[in-house]
Amino acid sequence: MFVLELTYTAPLERVEAALADHVEWLKEQYATGRFIAAGRKVPRDGGVILAVGMDRPEVERLVAEDPFSLAGVCDYRIVEFQATTTAPELERFREQRSS
């Protein structure tokens, strides 16, 4: 599982200009099952996405295709972790500890 943290690197006007394309890209990722949650940070200086079912190189390729990345309005911080405990609703994403 991955936590993808976006930090805006451009004024909000430029972010807003790319927002519709970014939202469409998010919808595509939800449809493939890659994303399970996303939203704006508070205060609004970026966002957070929870991603599953990929390895790190796939995630890196995917975030490079984000319209926000293509527009140069954000930087991504990619954090990989093992979701060894979850809420019951997220049990299908639970992972075994690696040694």
Comparing 42 with 94, which gets the higher pLDDT? Answer: 42
Task: Please give the Cα distance from 76 to 66 (Å, whole number).
Answer: 10
Instruction: Give the mean pLDDT of 66-83.
Output: 96
CA distances from 92 to 1, 70, 96 (A): 12, 32, 12
What is the pLDDT, as a whole number, of residue 99?
61
pLDDT band at 89 (very low <50, low <70, confident <90, very high): confident
Comparing 99 with 21, which gets the higher pLDDT? Answer: 21
What is the pLDDT, as a whole number, of residue 85?
84
pLDDT tens for residues 11-65?
Answer: 999 999 999 999 999 999 999 999 999 999 999 999 999 999 999 999 999 999 9
Phi, psi for 41 (deg, rounded to 5): -80, 160
